[in-house]
Amino acid sequence: MTDFADTDLFQPVAIGAWQLNNRIVMAPLTRCRISHDGIPGPLQAEYYAQRAGAGLIISEATNISPQARGYAYTPGIYTAAQIEGWKLVTQAVHAAGGTIVCQLWHVGRFSHASLQPGGALPVAPSAIAADGETFTEQGMQRVSTPRALETAEIAGIVEQYQHAALCARQAGFDGVEIHSANCYLLEQFIRDSTNLRTDRYGGSIENRIRLVLEVVDAVAAVWGGSRVGIRLSPVTPAAGNTPLDSNVMATYGYLVGQLNAYGLAYLHCVEGSTRLSREVPAGINLAQIRALFQGPYMANNLYTRELALAARREQRADLICFGRPFIANPDLVERLKADWPLAEADKAVWYGGWSAGYTDWPAYAATAG
């Protein structure tokens, strides 16, 4: 048993506008268990309420529009019916004493035409195909080559984010997280490997981060900065082995510096390659990028109990995000605190299905002799 005299990991903390019960965060976890119209229901309410022991829950990535969709059976936050579905979730989490934010998501090029309205091509900063497959209603299919957004269309993307932020407020969320990571639309604009534009949204670092800042501005206008977080993944090649930006330190350092103007609740950073490795390429120092941010820092990627305790002991992160351990351990905070063993979920139950492998995981206390 750890001597908790040297850690505040399990103690309440004020972050942004929230008073959180502890510093452990449930990461956004796509589970592909939503109806085809993107409406959550009682099953999702049960799932999230079971995990309300987390200091903060970040919802599974949630589509901001029909165009934003890149995977089958994922939720949306842009229609009245979706708002009503999410109300079941937020009310259940609040009744269990938890705090929950909605992660706002546009996949950009990582989609398939069958998932798009009218079978249209996905959109991206440039017409560069990703290398990978996505989960469609017909099974796994290779992602479609996107079309490049016209300059005049980009204001509409910002409007989609703002509308989704308004819908999240109506649904009873405590705030939102802007998904600008894992090589989806916003990060496709940030990286010069996926953004070959020659207009005001391409070329220089200032131009490539323009859309991200416009989205932050629009979303913060709805919520106030203290209820808005943002997720970045400077060295993740996920979603089709996307090449890194040619100058990670300059690009992401400049972006993080610009984010300070908004008084955001937190910066959520994937340390290493999402789900795969904590290794960082030579010449890149994420701690230096983190140091440029003047607000709370949320660390993510393959954290264990020991890594989390060390990160707080050494003041390297304000919040620690756990993902996959929350799948099979709804009582993860209690298990980490007591150093109880963790259950493991087979990958076969991560995506799709119904309650099996989703809401049927018992708390440790219910199984211990």
CB 64 within 8 A of CB 163: yes
pLDDT interval class at 89 (50, 70, 90): very high
Question: Is residue 2 over pLDDT 60?
Answer: no
For residue 45, which phi and psi values (nearest 5 degrees)?
-60, -45
Contact between residue 231 and residue 177 where contact means Cβ atoms under 8 Å apart: yes
Confidence at residue 313, expressed as pLDDT on a 0 to 100 scale: 94
- Integer angstrom CA distances of residue 322 from 27, 33, 68, 270, 302: 6, 20, 25, 11, 7
Catalytic residue among 184, 252, 266, 364: 184
Residue 5: partners with Cβ closer than 8 Å, 6 or more residues away: none
- pLDDT, residue 339, reads 95
87 has a pLDDT exceeding 70: yes
Whether pLDDT at 258 is above 60? yes
Residue type, 10: F
- pLDDT score of 5 more than 60: no
Residue 128 sits in a domain of what CATH number? 3.20.20.70
**What does pLDDT average to over the chain?**
94
Q: How far apart are CA 153 and CA 91, in angstroms?
A: 36
pLDDT of 4 above 80 = no
pLDDT value of position 240: 63
* Domain enclosing residue 311, as ranges: 4-367
Instruction: Kindly give the interhelix angle for 210-223 and 154-170, rounded to the nearest 10 degrees.
Output: 30
Burial of 242 (0-12, 13-18, 19+ CB in 10 A): buried
Could you give the CA distance from residue 91 to residue 49 in angstroms, rounded to a whole number?
A: 9
What residue ranges in the chain does DSSP mark as E strands?
A: 13-15, 18-20, 24-26, 56-58, 62-63, 100-105, 123-124, 133-136, 139-142, 147-148, 176-180, 228-232, 266-270, 297-300, 319-322
Q: Which residues contact 84 (CB under 8 A, 6 or more apart)?
A: 39, 171
Please count the structural domains in the chain.
Answer: 1
Res 75 pLDDT > 50: yes
Cβ-based neighbours of 240, under 8 Å, separated by 6 or more: 109, 110, 130, 131, 132, 143, 183
pLDDT at residue 280 in the model = 85
The two beta strands, 139-142 and 133-136, are: antiparallel
Q: How far apart, in whole angstroms, are the C-alpha atoms of residue 64 and residue 106?
A: 6
pLDDT at 272 over 80: no
pLDDT at 1: 47
pTM reported for the whole predicted model: 0.96
* C-alpha to C-alpha distance for 133 and 135, rounded to whole angstroms: 7
Q: What is the mean pLDDT of residues 352-358?
A: 93
Which tens digit of pLDDT belongs to each residue from 183-242? 999 999 999 999 999 999 999 999 999 999 999 999 999 999 999 999 999 998 876 678
- Measured CA to CA, the distance from residue 16 to residue 361 in angstroms comes to 32
Share of the chain above pLDDT 90, in %: 88
CA atoms within 13 A on the CB side of 364: 16
Kindly tell me if the per-residue pLDDT of 326 is higher than 70. Answer: yes
Residues in CB range of 315: below 8 A, 6 or more apart: none
Poorest-confidence range of 139-153, 267-281, 309-323, 353-367? 267-281
252 in active site: no
Give, as one character, the DSSP assignment of residue 359.
T
Write out pLDDT tens, residues 34-50: 987 999 999 999 999 99
d(CA 291, CA 307): 19
* pLDDT, position 368: 59
